[in-house]
Chains A and B, each alone.
Chain A
Amino acid sequence: MLKINHLQARIEEKEILKGINLDIKPGEIHAIMGPNGSGKSTLASVLAGRSDYEVTGGSVEFMGKDLLELSPEDRAKEGLFLAFQYPVEIPGVSTTNFIKSAVNEKRKYLGQEPLDAAQFLRTMKEKMKLVEIDQSLLSRSLNEGFSGGEKKRNEIFQMAMLEPKLAILDETDSGLDIDALRIVANGVNQLRNKDNAFLVVTHYQRLLDYIVPDFVHVLYKGRIVRSGTKELAKELEEKGYDFIKAEVDQELA
């Protein structure tokens, strides 16, 4: 589904990704972990097509297409979804309206008829249950005045509505209390199937207690320095990142 081959990227003059290799197949959940500043969020942003970052080398294939050639909106419509670490507020635009535009833009791209109001509401009701989100929240301006937990749940709700092939969760657990974390993870687990895949970017292991990954990769200094199963995450939790940093720095030296 997603093949990242020696991906390099920088912001302004600063090299951040220094050759990432990653292969994600349908049905898999991959977790990217790493200390602050290792390039985790950069990887998520580059895949989504944020223009602040310049890709300086490597390639990314998504569903058989050259991802880097696609505009951010086309990437989204091809089925790539990013749950933002810091979801933005758009005053005056109701969440419902926003999601409706998004859903119908995607349908148009795929050559499908737009959903009418009744169909849309039905789908919405169904997905609302998944993330235990309230109707009143969806009538309010997008993310405006939402609590941290509400914003994150809203991201997962949008993901549920858009049914992406690959969802990237960028530190979705940050700022969540344990209940919100459980709700978010539940949503993800229910949406999981054999045809879609998830890339979970996180600093802490605790999210992985709820969303169990098939693979765990450790990102450090712009490279994936270790890959393994969920046991690797457990090891990190126990020992901290320092032991890996030390090992890698030694290898590099």
Chain B
Amino acid sequence: MQEENDDILEQITSSEYKYGFVTDIEADEAPKGLSEDTVRFISAKKNEPAWMLEYRLKAYRHWLTMEEPQWSNVEFPSINYQDIIYYSAPKQKIAPDSLDDIDPELRKTFEKLGISLNEQKRLTGVAVDAVIDSVSVATTFKEELSKVGVIFCSMSEAIQEHPELIKKYLGSVVPATDNYFTALNSAVFSDGSFCFIPKGVRCPMELSTYFRINAANTGQFERTLIVAEDEAYVSYLEGCTAPMRDENQLHAAVVEIVAMERAEVKYSTVQNWYPGDKEGKGGIYNFVTKRGICAGAHAKISWTQVETGSSITWKYPSVILKGDNSIGEFYSVAVTNNFQQADTGTKMIHLGKNTKSRIVSKGISAGKSQNSYRGLVSVSKKASNARNYSQCDSLLLGDKCGAHTFPYIEVKNNTAIVEHEATTSKIGEDQIFYCNQRGIDTETAVALIINGFAKEVMNQLPMEFAVEAQKLLAISLEGSVG
């Protein structure tokens, strides 16, 4: 039996990363390395206004004064920032006027990933912004969305078409100077998505951005900005994959969310960057800063993430609860296998009165991986009656992996109620045998148990995503028991 379990483990962990293919398409690239010239090159490529270039240069100069942070519970060889290509765009033969003009190779790439750039395929009712390497190649349902006043477009387009909104909100939640990687991102970001939901509008469909790294030796630095005015609602999804390569590739994104009075933003991520091979070679460094602000009273921001990919994940989607009675939520499943490392969690910053936050983190570690939850709950002096509930559960598969929890709690107002619960468990042989005895094989049993463990978080995902995410969990881990 033991042998058989090991066989399944072998089989599954050696199964290839499904999205690891490379699209053979000519790219327009910046020369390797980072300097003011690189920043100017990117800005010029995008035909940006002077204020945008200024913003980038300021960020770049600030970045030069900073040092890469060292405090996380992850280990990696130092990154040579001069060895990265900061801009790579697939060369399209003609500038696409409509979705029909998209290079068939690119269309095929996204189809292979299960993303339809075809508006006719309306079944899913999801508008997509497709970003490959440094640029957005297509955004669907733009017209339909604009009828209700929703702006959904690539960041490059937003800078051209809606400069007043970008000037007002870009960097308003995550300043360029926030940390090493936000400074880097602010200097060299090349695309991403912009969503603007005007006052009182409930966005009629899910918005999503699909990120794909294709070119070798490039970094991906995208920027997402979501603004929901008073009483607006939007549910936004993000997915990502990359080819299998032996070199590590850097992904340093910034996501900002602004929710005004009574607005609600739900942000879901299914992160499946290439995790590296069984020996830990290659994979994406996923160093991301995500933060939202509940700027108005009764606003709500909810982060849901399913993290299965990347060789290293380092991110803390956070909520600043500034408006009175505002709500922040964080639901996370982080899976690590083989040599993956994850240091992820959230920050809930309570500033307003009667603010509430809820944190549910489920870490699953297998192989020789390390999985850390790191979270901060901060209650300021003025935040009377703040409430927080945190639950951090870890599930271990096998005995060579690690699970760690680093909760930080800072409370300056004595009316606050902060609760923290944590558990660590192992998938038991008893559970597996029980399933076996009911005719359920070990692989399926592990998937069943994992999905049960992660259910509370999975339930937060929009339907179409939940099914995919469940499969993804199973694929990442099946048979890791031994």
Contact = CB atoms under 8 A, between A and B. Distances in A.
Interface of A: 48-52, 71-73, 75-77, 81-82, 84, 87-88, 90-93, 98-99, 101-102, 105-106, 109, 141, 158, 162
A75 B436 CA distance: 9
B444 interface: yes
B452 to A, nearest CB: 3
Interface string B448-460: 1101111110000
14 contacts: A49-B1, A71-B1, A72-B437, A84-B437, A88-B434, A90-B434, A91-B452, A92-B451, A92-B452, A92-B455, A93-B451, A93-B452, A101-B440, A141-B452
Given A49-B1, A72-B1, A72-B433, A90 B441 contact: no
Contacts of A49: 1, 436-437
Interface of B is mostly: helix
Contacts of A76: 436-439
Nearest to B393: A91
Given A101-B440, A102-B440, A162-B439, 18 more contacts: A49-B436, A49-B437, A51-B1, A51-B429, A52-B429, A76-B437, A82-B437, A84-B437, A88-B428, A88-B430, A90-B449, A92-B455, A93-B452, A105-B440, A105-B444, A109-B439, A141-B452, A158-B438
B148 to A, nearest CB: 36
Nearest to A52: B429
A101 B474 CA distance: 15
B433 A51 contact: yes
B23 interface: no
Contacts of A106: 439
Nearest to A75: B437
Query: Which interface class (under 10, 10 to 19, 20 to 34, 35 or more) fits B?
Result: 20 to 34
A82 B437 CA distance: 7
A49 B432 CA distance: 12
B177 to A, nearest CB: 42
A105 B452 CA distance: 18
A162 B435 CA distance: 13
A162 B438 CA distance: 8
Contacts of B428: 88
Nearest to B5: A51
A101 B444 contact: yes
Contacts of B429: 51-52
